């Protein structure tokens, strides 16, 4: 039986995701990879199409998009760039 990798995880601390995690399509191609801190997306994240081409790339700051994000089509051409500012919580 040929079992496909669906996710590769770094670790959990007290049940919370930490470190680099990777998720895969059914065809074995990388779907996305990124870092978690205390179960929240934090740091660089990359999302991919099922053909292996980069779909988007950017940083999260505690589950909120932060800074410049780049978006690509399935041929690898840059189609959009967006800049996200962190919301302040007072």
23-71 pLDDT tens trace: 999 999 999 999 999 999 999 999 999 999 999 999 999 999 999 999 9
- Residue 17's domain comprises 7-84
Nearest to 47 by CA among 35, 34, 37, 60: 34
CATH of the domain at 14: 2.20.110.10
Of the two residues 11 and 69, the one the predictor is more confident about is 69
Let me know if residue 90 belongs to a domain. no
Report pLDDT for 11.
Answer: 78
Separation CA 17–CA 28 (nearest Å): 22
Let me know if residue 42 belongs to a domain. yes
Percent helix, percent strand, percent coil in the chain, to nearest 5: 0, 60, 40
Let me know if residue 89 belongs to a domain. no
Let me know if residue 57 belongs to a domain. yes
Could you tell me the pTM of the whole model? 0.82
The count of structural domains within the chain is: 1
Let me know if residue 43 belongs to a domain. yes
């Amino acid at each position: 039986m040929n079992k496909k990798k669906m996710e590769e995880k770094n670790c959990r601390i007290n049940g919370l995701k930490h470190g680099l995690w990777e998720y895969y399509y059914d065809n074995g191609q990388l779907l996305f990879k990124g870092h978690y801190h205390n179960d929240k997306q934090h740091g660089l994240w990359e999302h991919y199409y099922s053909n292996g081409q980069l779909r988007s790339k950017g940083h999260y700051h505690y589950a909120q998009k932060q800074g410049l994000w780049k978006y690509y089509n399935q041929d690898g051409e840059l189609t959009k760039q967006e800049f996200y500012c962190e919301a302040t919580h007072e």
